[in-house]
Every structure is written in structure tokens, then in C-alpha cells.
Chain A
Amino acid sequence: MSVIAIENLVKTFGGVRALDGLDLRVEPGEVHGFLGPNGSGKSTTIRILLGLLRRDSGQVRILDGDPWRDAVALHRRLAYVPGDVNLWPNLSGGEAIDLFGALRGGLDRRRRDELLRRFDLDPTKKCRTYSKGNRQKVAIVAAFASDVELYVLDEPTSGLDPLMEAVFQEEVRQLTEAGASVLLSSHVLAEVEALCDRVSIIREGRVVEAGTLSELRHLARTTVTVETGRPVIGLTELPGVHEVRPVDGRVRLEVEPEHLDTLLAHLVRFEVRALTSTPPTLEELFLRHYGDAIDADQPAPIGGTR
């Protein structure tokens, strides 16, 4: 049973189709990365999952309930950290944390105090005096101190410094060790790479790629740089080999993973002296999907799952 199961979700605002047949599946115990640039529909999806927005069409199940109809019962079993945390200006941070905890159905006081210490947050300051990062910490502490099955985190670390980012990652790992599931919307790719078991890449309201990181990598080309004793010939005729170009007496090329074997067999005939093979980073995967937004009208080179 999936923790989150979305099929063919559509949501329009006026004439704008914010979600255009989105599919998303989060399995129990996993940290699922939800990747996409601003305006691609991440927050809209999350708000539908929280029963704040109403879907136009499609299937949405969360913790085996209907997010709109069963909102209150479901909210006892999940915790949410919004991307842009706004709090009551005249409440102290500690009061806001306790309030969120109580309204969700109780929070672990020991855990709360430990999190306050770990995130180095002064709970006696009024919320209006907090910086963006500190407001985010309030929401994170309130969420992580709740013992729930699912954590929905919408760009939770966009205001945190690197030190706090590390603390955040450790705390997320603790949550999953305890058996919880996490939906982590983010565009901090290093964070997603460090934490996520599987990722879904969203673009213009649709998920264009989903899978484990190694699966995604498998779909993308590996970059190979090779130095040989004799000049390599016949590379361009090989199946699955692209972008061959000489660089400083070496040859750099891109190869589809399933043809790596053929390439290596071909190369050994030219006295290989050095060879590096770099799998694509998440950045590259991501940019491949959005490259055409920058590099207008170029179709994304990756094939496959659409």
C-alpha cells in the first residue's frame, strides 16, 4: 500500500493548467524527492495532498484516505513544513511550536527540546523577529517533534545555512529509521541526492521522470574520457555513442549505459592508457529536462518514460 498514490491529477486555476495529469507514488518508509523548478506545480500538488486545494480530476490517496474528505483524520497522521513559513507575529517561537503540536494531536516534549538545541533555535523570541531561516526551523521542529507516519516537507531548507542543512539531513534519516515516510519537495539537488531513495521530476504540472537515482542515471548517458596510445577510429559508427570530440589529446564522448560494453571492447584495441567514466549527476539529469527552457525549443535528449 503506497503512502501517497496520485494518478492523472489535474488542477487548473482560471485558465492556467497548474497540474496536467500528474502521477506520483510514495512508498512506505522511503524518502521521496519531489524535484522541479519554481512554478512547476510542486506546492499545488502538496496543497491538494493536504486537502487545502480541491482537485479538478484524477485519483489522490494519502495514507489510504481521501485528502479532501478525510482531511482532519489524515492530518493527525502527518506533519507539514511549508516552503514559506508565516507565523503569528506576537507569539514566541516556543508557543508556535507547542501550538502546532497540540493542534496536530500532541508532540514529544523531550524530542522538541532536543530539536531546539540541535537546530540552535531560541524559543523565547517573538515570531515577528525571526529571520526566514528561523521561521523555517520553528516549522521543522514542530513537525519533527510530532510522532507521525508521513512528513510532507515543501522546500524546508531554503533558508537554512549549511550547518543546519546537515542537522536537517541527520534528523530526516532518524525519522525514516523510525519507519516514517517523507515527501521532500526541493530544488537543492545535493540534499535530494543525499537523502532520497526515489525521486520524481516534475515539469509544467507533469512528472516527466520517476525512479531511484540509479534508475534515472541508467536512462541518461555516461560521459567517458579516454586516453589511448594510438588514435581511436570508428567511434561514431558504434551504437549508442554520441558527442565524440577530442580534448587535449584525449577523446571525450557520451555513451548510453547499455552500450558501454561495446564501447569498451572497441577501445581496448587502441592501447588504453587512462579512462574515466562519469555517471550523470542529478544536476545533469535535471538540466536535461529543463535544458530546453534555457536552450529554447531543443527537445530534451533523454528518452524513455514519458
Chain B
Amino acid sequence: MSAFTGTTRLARLALRRDRVRLAIWTLGSPVIGYALAESVASIYPDEQNRVGYAEVANTSVVARAFNGPVASTDLGAVVVTETYLTLAVLAALLSTFAVVRHTRQNEETGRAELLGAAAIGRYALLTAALVVVVGANVLAGALLALVLVGAGLPAAGSVAAAAAITGVGLAFTGVAAVTAQLSVTSRGANALAAAAVGVAFLLRATGDVLGERAADGVRLDSAWPTWLSPMGWGTQVRAFGDERWWVLGLPVALLVVGVAGAYALAERRDVGAGLLAARRGPARAAAGLLSPAGLTWRLHRGALAGWAVAVAVLGLAMGLAGNEVDDMIADNPAAAEAIAQLGGGDELLDAFLAAMLGLFALTIGAYVVQALLRVRGDESDGILEPLLATAVSRTRWLSTQVAGAVLGALALMLLAGATTGLGYGLAAGDPAGWTVELTGAALLRLPALLVVAGVVTALFGALPRLSVALSWAVLIVFLLLGQLGAALDLPQAALNLSPYTHVPSVPAVDVTVLPLVLLTAVAAALLALGLTTFRHRDTPI
């Protein structure tokens, strides 16, 4: 019996367990790619549009930070730039979750012990997980390449673009293989790997923001931080430009290094153990823990702290970038229009700052969904049952959870406004004044986040089994309506579905009170619906 005995069987088990997930992943990415390619082709039909696009995209700090450089003025390059962030983050996170799910989660739940007692080699579990995840990445990439060719794009560029996305997935497969060995919990392993995705994004964004524009005005040469980031490598392949195939060797190398490291760690540790030892806790609870509110704070403070650090860093960076907006875009009407579309209003700087706060509000919406969906996790994990058998009413428990998520979002929003204001103030003068002004502007976005909290609560009460999928779907729809709605010329009725459409885009436009009141009322109605339906239904279901 070798250390790999049973790998094939375990791989088949993983395929059976994840047949739906894997199908959605491998088919979903190409479908998203195709849909975005079609819409981009309709917006930028001719070379002239695309030269304008490339100039804006490679000039605007925001576009550089989020989308990365545009490789050329070919249609394919525009498609890649517009889809890269979405597809790369999807590939990174899906690979991470899948690796952890089939390695550390099996150990955490004791399934690995059961399997380990059978004729299963020491490396079989890890190897099976890697085979499945690498296979899914390659398959998704191959389908994406076919779809892009099918959309009429050149074959070489299509293959390079798909390989770049696959590369990101492979790189984070390697990262997750290591984090799954380090942490004793799957939650911890996922968090470590997701943090790596975040760092990779920030490194790439920094490198691209600091990059130099080439003499022809189109090409952007990214600075060195981009080269430290697996997310950056995908953009450096320059699909549909002068393809640099050798760059694809970098993610493969990271995968190999990660897998080798994971095998070395697996060799040295016991099943179920991790390198990061489980810490001990107090023998008695502090008085502050002994209430639903205390428990909520305890359970959320870690994630909240992580979010706070990320928000503060991004806020400062965006604020500092705000000072360059005028210089860079003043003589580029196309770029100005792009920012005005996102931020609203005529004043370029105000539009930029408003657009940043809008992005923060959308992103912090993800915090609300993530924090509040914990209620469903607790219900299906059986943690809720003994809790509700104590003298805590359902209404009290759920409203405490909602309050926790909303207060967390409020804190993050204020922090986003304050750091953006501080960053801009430090660069342009009057830090105190700008901090106060943008903190106030950020606060005005809160009603949209209240609506998000209301939607999740209502779904948890009325449709608990679907609440996780539907909550994220709703947030993604809000995101798409906010970011692409104006660009895609969607009718106002569709845009009105998103609460983010209705919060005043301060400082670009003046404060209007009525939408804030209406949004708050909608949120209150949704919360009431959630609380009522939860009070009247069976639990756990």
C-alpha cells in the first residue's frame, strides 16, 4: 500500500459529493464570460470606442485598481479587462473552498478518520482533492476558451485569457492546500486562503495603480507589486495583446510549491491536528458574554476586525488617489464621463469620492449578508436548538443578530467615509474637514444596507432552506444593477429595484431625505416580515 492508495476512489467520492457544485462552477464561469463578452461587444463595437476605453481604463486610478491594465485595443482585451476581476476572484474562491471542503473539512468532521481507517494512503485525501479541483479549473478554462472563440474572438487570445483565469484558480489551489494543513478548522483554512486572495488583489491593485503608461498612451506597464500577486499574473499574460505565455508558468509553479509544502506538512502532522495549535480559552465566561448581545459580539468581532482593516486600507488608498483625479482626467472627457456615471453629479472630484463610497456600500453589503446568514448556519448546524430551549425568545435572538450585523455595517461605513476623507484631506489639505464631510456622506448610505439586512432576515424567516443562495443572489443583482446598470442602459424601472440606486450620491449630489425615509421603511417592513415568519415556523428545518 502506497501513500496514495485509494486516491481514485476518494476523487470519485468528491465528484459525487460535489456533482452539483462542480457543474455550476465549470459551466457557470463560461456562461458569465459569454454574457459579459456579448454585452462588451455591443458597447464597444469599433476600434475608436475601444481606444477611448483603453485610455480611460489605463488612466483612471479606480479602473486600474479594480480591473487592471488593458492589454490592447482589441475587442478581446476589453472583454478580458471587464470580466477578469469577477472570473479570477470566482476561480480563486471556488478553488479554495473546494480544496478545504475535501481536506480539512473531512478531518474536522471526523470523516477523514473513518476513511483513514480503510485502505487509504496518507496523501490520498489531499491528492484526491487536488485532482478534482485542478480538473475543475482546467475544464472550466477549456470551456471558457471555447465560449470566447465561439463569441468570435481570436483563438490565441481566447486560450490565453482562459488560461489566465485557470492559472489564478490553480495558484489558489496551491495556497488552500497549505492553509488546509495549517488550520485545524475548515473555517480557519478558508479564512486564511480568502485573506490571501484579498492580499493578492491589493498587491495587484497597488502595482497597477503605480504602473507607468507606455508612450503610445494605451499600454500600461504595471509596477513590481503586481508581479507578487497571483491575481496580477493573469493580467500580465496580456491576452489579446502580445501574449506572454511564459507568465502562465508562475501560477503552475505556485501550485507545485504549495502542493509540495502541503505534502511535507501532511507527512509531519497527525490526522485532525494542525500547525496552528488550538488555543485554550477561559474556564469561566466573562460577564460580557452572558447575553445574546454579548454572544453576538463575541462571534462577529473577529470577522469585523478583518473587514475594518481592509476597509481602512482601501479608504486611505482611494482618498489619496482622489487628489490625482483632477490632474489625470481633467483633459479626458471619456474618463470623466465614466466616473460621473458611477458617482453622479458634474464635479469630477465629488463624483469620484461619491463613486468610492458607493463601492464601499456595496462591498459592506457583503458583510451584512455574511454576518446575518450566520443565523441560518447556526440553525442548520444545530447550535440554535439548545439556545432557543433557554429563556431567550426567537424574536430577541433574531433581532439581536440583525442589530449586530447592522451596527457592524454602520461602523464599517463610518470607517470607510472617515478613512477616504482622511486620505484625501492628507493629500489635498484640511484632513479634519474632509474626514467629517465624507463620514457624514457615508452615513447616508446606511439605509441601503438596512434593506440588505431586511432582505436576508425576511428570506431566513420565510424561505430558510433557500435563504443562503437567495441572499447572495439578491446582493449580486444589486451589485450588477449598480455597476453595470448605467453602462448597459437598463431601464430606470430595473435600476430602481436596487436600494443602492436610491441613496443620495453625496458629495456629488445634494442630500434628499425622502428616499432615505422610504428605504428605512422598506427595511423595517422586511425585518418585521422576517421576525414574524421566523416566530411562526418550525425550527430547525
Contact = CB atoms under 8 A, between A and B. Distances in A.
Interface stretch (A26-34, A46-54, A163-171, A275-283): A46-54
A182 to B, nearest CB: 15
Interface in A14-71: 47, 50-54, 71
Contacts of B298: 91
Interface stretch (B3-11, B200-208, B246-254, B388-396): B388-396
A94 B281 contact: yes
Given A50-B389, A87-B383, A103 B292 contact: yes
B295 A85 contact: no
A242 to B, nearest CB: 45
Nearest to A129: B278
A239 interface: no
Contacts of A89: 185, 187
Nearest to A127: B281
A128 interface: yes
Interface of B: 108, 184-185, 187, 278-285, 289-292, 295, 298-299, 302, 381-383, 385-393, 536-540
Main secondary structure of the interface of B (DSSP, over half): loop
A188 to B, nearest CB: 21
B83 to A, nearest CB: 37
A95 B281 CA distance: 8
Contact of B280 (A73, A76, A92): A92
B289 A98 contact: yes
Interface residues of A, number: 43
Contacts of A103: 290-292, 387, 390-392
Contacts of A144: none
Nearest to B291: A102
Given A94-B282, A126-B278, A71 B393 contact: yes
B382 A82 contact: yes
Contact of B381 (A86, A97, A129): A86
A257 B480 CA distance: 78
A126 B292 CA distance: 19
B386 A52 contact: no
B390 A104 contact: yes
A92 B383 CA distance: 15
Nearest to B383: A86
Contact of A95 (B278, B285, B536): B285
A72 B298 CA distance: 24
B282 A75 contact: no
Contacts of B278: 125-126, 128-129
A135 to B, nearest CB: 11
Contacts of A99: 285, 289-290, 295
B460 to A, nearest CB: 16
A298 interface: no
B383 A91 contact: no
Contacts of B386: 80-82, 85-86, 100, 139
B390 A100 contact: yes
Interface of A: 47, 50-54, 71-73, 75-76, 78, 80-82, 84-95, 97-100, 102-105, 123-126, 128-129, 139, 152
Contacts of A78: 389
A73 B289 CA distance: 22
A99 to B, nearest CB: 6
Nearest to B382: A86
Most buried by A among B278, B281, B382, B540: B281
Nearest to B393: A72
Given A84-B382, A88-B383, A98 B391 contact: no
Contacts of B285: 94-95, 97-99, 102
Given A52-B540, A92-B283, A95-B282, A75 B390 contact: yes
B281 A92 contact: yes
Contacts of A90: 299, 302
A76 to B, nearest CB: 4
Given A87-B383, A104-B390, A125-B281, 20 more contacts: A47-B385, A53-B538, A72-B391, A72-B393, A73-B391, A84-B382, A85-B386, A91-B281, A91-B289, A93-B281, A95-B289, A97-B285, A99-B285, A99-B289, A102-B291, A103-B390, A123-B283, A124-B282, A126-B280, A128-B185
Contacts of A80: 386, 389
Contacts of A71: 388, 393
B284 A126 contact: no
Given A72-B393, A75-B391, A82-B385, A94 B284 contact: yes
A82 B386 CA distance: 7
A65 to B, nearest CB: 13
